[in-house]
Structure 1
Amino acid sequence: MTTTTRAVLVFTLMLLAAPAPAATPAQTMTPVAERPMAPDFALKDADGKRHRLSEERGKVVLVNFWATWCPPCRREMPSMQRAWTRLQGENFAMLAVNVGEDEDTIFGFTFSTGTELTFPILLDRDAQVIKAWPVIALPTSFIVDPRGRIVYRAVGGREWDDPELLKKIRELMPRK
């Protein structure tokens, strides 16, 4: 296990040990002031199809780093599917990057969600892609604008179909 992977795991476990909030927290994303270019990557999905982030230029992209052993990751997947369904056809892409697990583990998890996940789930088997991104815990999600710049970061689980999050994503989409 690399130092980066170990640090992400320790921080995630610390988040899991924290007491649960009394009320549902506001669904927010943190603006990334510098708006750096998103590190490009090419990963295969469970069917062997290659997906390259740079091929999504012109769209707003939700890049989500997750793992099946991560409870907040597991909880947010159904809301990601609902957001995916609502935003399809609107200059939007979603890439869920699983960190360090194999197809069988991922398939077992996706089957157990009770929700058919139709967005691309990519395999970062050796955790090389996550190292290029400013991930401090799992899940961490990024919103990448149509020019390929990181605009927002969200550390921890979200309800991705929340109207306020969907509004912020749509505001970044190119006008037709």
Structure 2
Amino acid sequence: MRSRCNVFAYMAQLNPSPTFPVLLDQHSQVAHAFGVMDIPTTYLIDKQGLIVRQAVGGRDYDSPAIRQTIEALMR
């Protein structure tokens, strides 16, 4: 329960705050299912639910290339 409180306390400090769901994988079940080895790991999922991009490590999600990729997936 303590890690859950830590996550939400950290998220409350972010500006802007996340507009997407944050997964709390306390027993690493999802991490194992997706093969996550490092944090952060980001997946871009298309409208059919398929993983089309995976990024390990931090990224600048405001970069033109990444924004273009995300916007294309949203169409």
TM range (shorter): 0.7 to 0.9
Pair 146,118 (structure 1): closer, same or farther in 2 beyond 3 Å = closer
Moved more, 106-115 or 145-154: 106-115
Corresponding position of 1:167: 68
Find the aligned partners of 1:121 and 1:155 in 2 and give their Cα distance: 17
Q: In the TM superposition, what whole-angstrom CA distance separates every residue of 1:52-71 from its partner, at most 9, and x where no partner exists?
A: xxxxxxxxxxxxxxxxxxxx
Q: Secondary structure at the match of 1:157?
A: coil
Residue 33 of structure 2 is aligned with which of 132, 142, 158? Answer: 132
The 3 A distance-change label for structure 1 pair 114 and 173 is closer
Question: Going by fraction, where is helix more abundant, 1 or 2?
Answer: 2
Cα pair distance change 1:114/1:148, threshold 3 Å = closer
Matched AA of 1:105 = N
Q: Against the structure 1 CA distance between its residues 109 and 147, is the aligned structure 2 distance closer, same or farther, given a 3 Å change threshold?
A: same
Where does structure 2 lack aligned partners over 5 or more consecutive residues?
none
Q: Which residue of 2 aligns with 1:111?
A: 12
Which one-letter code corresponds to 1:143 in the other structure?
L
1:143 corresponding residue in structure 2:
44
CA gap 1:144/1:118 in 2 versus in 1, 3 angstroms = closer
Report percent identity of matched pairs.
36
Provide runs of 4+ in structure 1 moved above 4 Å. none
Does the 8 Å contact 2:31/2:37 carry over to 1?
A: no
TM-score, normalised with respect to structure 1: 0.38
The answer to whether the 8 A contact 2:42-2:56 is kept is yes
How far off its partner does 1:134 sit? 2.5
Structure number with the higher strand fraction is 1
TM-score normalised by structure 2 residue count: 0.78
Aligned equivalents of 1:129, 1:141: Cα separation in 2: 13
CA shift for structure 1 position 114: 4.2
Between the two structures, name the one with larger relative contact order (CA 8 Å, sep ≥ 6): 1
Letter in 2 for 1:123: L
Structure 1: where are the runs of 5+ without partners?
Answer: 1-100
